[in-house]
Structure 1
Amino acid sequence: MMNSWLRQALGEYVSFKDEEWEFFMHRCKCVKLKPKDIFFRSGEIANKVGFLRKGILRACQENEKGEIVTCYFYYLPHNNVVSLQTSFALKIPSEHSVEAITDCEILYLERNHFNNCLHKYPVFETMVRKIAEKHYLDSSKRINDFQTKDAKEIYNDFVKECGDLASEVPQYMIASYLGMSQFTLSKIKKITFQL
């Protein structure tokens, strides 16, 4: 069944009746991205919601020093909903860009089609609420980790939770995401490898 991968992935949040799913799928579009292609651009309103079929993306923004900081990774199977929630919900320009790190394939809905789904079938409201809850809990854990753990613990947690990213994503992006310099990350990896 075409796009059964997405129905299965979203099944983590809700179950769809066939008519709900067909309504949803008829409004989806597909985009393929190459590394460095942009899915969301900083300074623009995020007017779509994506669902990652393959690949890895990152949300990033420029800090006051002019450095690009990696804030979030989208990858399978953990973070497959590609959105910038604040920008989408409040209809304000995003501070973040979302760019492909590897070849990516994303099914997405533009805002008007997404809203049609929400208005027609309550199951989509439930799905959105549960996805938002997951993002909130993930963000809360990340903030708590930064406040209570040292760099080595943060890196070890990252490897446990998403070790597959460590081999596929450039080290400078991982260091930035973990809030440390590349030097510190290299040092931690060297110590960890020696143990």
Structure 2
Amino acid sequence: MFDVFAKYLLSKADFTADELQRIQAACLIRTLRKHQYLLQAGDVWTYNAFVAKGCMRSYTMDSKGTEHILNFAVENWWTGDQESLTTGQPSRYNIDAVEDSDVVLIRKEDFNQLRQELPVFNQLINSILHRSFMASQNRIHSAISYSAEEKYRDFLQRFPGLALRIPQHMVASYLGMTTETLSRIRRHLNKPA
């Protein structure tokens, strides 16, 4: 699975063979079956995680047992809990596999050392963090500004194909609506003109 990560890294920046070897030495590969946890709420998150294969989701559960999905991560995306990683506090989130998945993990200490030793890796991570921040801003804007139908259309535009990979109730949870509302929107959008 490191070859998938290496291909991703090389598509983003010019890494030498030695730099890739240094990164590989810090990587752990974890294979998860569908529904298996990568992180459970209450545990401290200590890794940076790259999804090499599959689909992961990050979510919380409220007091009524309702899931609230914060995000999904598919191939070539990163996942994890930055708050827990940064503060060392227990996570509020669960991260589990929506599909059978392979994840490349780098321990926090090793990741920070790679950033210090490899300027090209550090620049790449800074770029990823900036894009992640912008994606979070866009998600917040959508959540507070768009109608339910606009949220779904935006989701389909931003993540083409993802709606076909994940159950409808998870799409609804991510968009902050009921499954019934999403079903109604989908029926409306699929009506012949």
Structure 1 and Structure 2 fold alike (TM over 0.5): yes
- Decide whether the 8 Å contact of 2:37 with 2:97 is kept in 1: yes
Match of 2:175 in 1: 178
Structure 2 runs not aligned, ≥5 long: none
Question: Equivalent of 2:103, from 103, 106, 110?
Answer: 106
Matched, 1:21 2:23: no
Kindly state the Cα deviation for residue 114 of structure 1 after the two structures are TM-superposed: 1.5
Identity of aligned residues (%): 26
Match of 1:155 in 2: 152
Match of 1:61 in 2: 60
The 5 A counterparts of 1:2-151 are 3-11=2-10, 13-77=12-76, 80-151=77-148
SS at match of 1:109: strand
Structure 1 runs not aligned, ≥5 long: none
- Decide whether the 8 Å contact of 1:13 with 1:131 is kept in 2: no
The TM-score, its normalising length taken from structure 1, stands at 0.91
- Decide whether the 8 Å contact of 2:163 with 2:171 is kept in 1: yes
Kindly state the Cα deviation for residue 24 of structure 1 after the two structures are TM-superposed: 0.6
- The code of the aligned residue for 1:147 comes to I
Alignment root-mean-square deviation, CA: 1.7
> Aligned partners of 1:10, 1:192: CA distance in 2, in Å?
38
User: How many correspondences in the alignment?
Assistant: 192
Task: Give the direction of change, closer, same or farther, for the CA distance of 1:92–1:128 in structure 2 (3 Å limit).
Answer: farther
> Aligned partners of 2:27, 2:138: CA distance in 1, in Å?
32
SS at match of 2:159: helix
> Aligned partners of 2:122, 2:184: CA distance in 1, in Å?
46
> Aligned partners of 1:17, 1:153: CA distance in 2, in Å?
44
| Cα deviation 1:83-125 (Å, max 9, x = unaligned) | 2112112222111110001100111111222222123222232
Kindly state the Cα deviation for residue 14 of structure 1 after the two structures are TM-superposed: 3.2
- Decide whether the 8 Å contact of 1:13 with 1:130 is kept in 2: no
The TM-score, its normalising length taken from structure 2, stands at 0.92
> Aligned partners of 1:119, 1:162: CA distance in 2, in Å?
33
> Aligned partners of 2:147, 2:11: CA distance in 1, in Å?
32
